Amino acid sequence: MEKPILEVFNLVVARSGKLVIKDISLTINEGEFVGIVGPNGSGKSTLMLAILGILKPSRGSIEIYGNPPLSRKLHRRIGWVSQAAANLPKDVRLTVRELVRLGTVNSGNMFDLRDNGRRERVDNAISMTGLEDVEDIDISRLSGGQRQRAVIARALATEADFILLDEPLVGIDRESRNSLLKLLDQLCHEEGKTILMVSHDLTAIRKTAHRMIFLEESIRFDGPTSSFPDLEKLADLRGINDPHEDHQMHVEN
């Protein structure tokens, strides 16, 4: 039986009075790895922020595990890796372990000094992301790829079952990108996590996601990765006739 984790119905989101998301509906089931692609400014981050409850929809509804966004019942169930994740402040002295440990802190336990399994969760998150060797190093000294892993480790330390990532592959080298994708794939297959990832990197996302959503104000494609349209068909879906128009999707090898 498929168990829905996220249910979005007829969602409309406006920003500064402009419609950014026009009436989209989608369901994500437990254990799925879904990739969201689309050109710059097409509403991908906006959709993520609406799911997280940071942006209020103009119309429609969003349910996560049957609850509205920001519901207390969702505490620790959602892990979020933002588009700006790799731009962690450089002037804050924080080790990798300390950063990951922040993932275990919430408004309910901030002043609770008992461990309550926190150390184990932090250890697990660090080993899952392969950061053991740098755990005591200051985050300002990490490479872009390591920093991205550290942010993912923080999300894992919350023990979230549903992980949302916005452009986690930006600014990291090919090797780190491959190991990050492998990690996400493992989280999905071995840990039963549900993953929703936004990326411009069509090649990379196609290699990992089971299902793809092409978003450009509305959903232009939603289906198995194997039937994701080629670039020519995509241009059709987007109503582009000029073959020289830059569709701003990086196709990398």
Ligand X SMILES: Nc1ncnc2c1ncn2[C@@H]1O[C@H](COP(=O)(O)OP(=O)(O)OP(=O)(O)O)[C@@H](O)[C@H]1O
Identity of the amino acid at 84:
A
- Report how far residue 56's alpha carbon sits from residue 54's, in angstroms, rounded to the nearest whole number: 7
Any contact of residue 43 with ligand X (CB under 6 A)? yes
Any contact of residue 46 with ligand X (CB under 6 A)? yes
Among residues 42, 146, 158, 194, which is the contact residue for ligand X, using CB under 6 A?
42
Identity of the amino acid at 158:
T
**Cβ pair 139, 99 in contact under 8 A:** yes
* Min separation Cβ 252 and Mg ion, Å: 18
The 3-22 site mask, x for binding ligand X (CB under 6 A), equals: ------------xx---x--
Task: Please choose, out of 23-31, 39-47, 58-66, 214-222, the segment that lies near Mg ion by the rule CB under 5 A.
Answer: 39-47
Q: Which is nearer to ligand X, 6 or 215 (CB)?
A: 215
- Report how far residue 125's alpha carbon sits from residue 158's, in angstroms, rounded to the nearest whole number: 9
Any contact of residue 220 with ligand X (CB under 6 A)? no
- Picked from Mg ion, ligand X, none, the partner binding residue 90 (CB below 5 to 8 A depending on kind) is none
- Report how far residue 21's alpha carbon sits from residue 217's, in angstroms, rounded to the nearest whole number: 5
What is the C-alpha end-to-end distance of the chain, expressed in Å?
A: 37
* Min separation Cβ 2 and Mg ion, Å: 28
Cα angle 130-210-153, degrees, rounded to a multiple of 5: 25
Residues of this chain that bind ligand X (CB under 6 A): 15-16, 20, 38, 40-46, 83
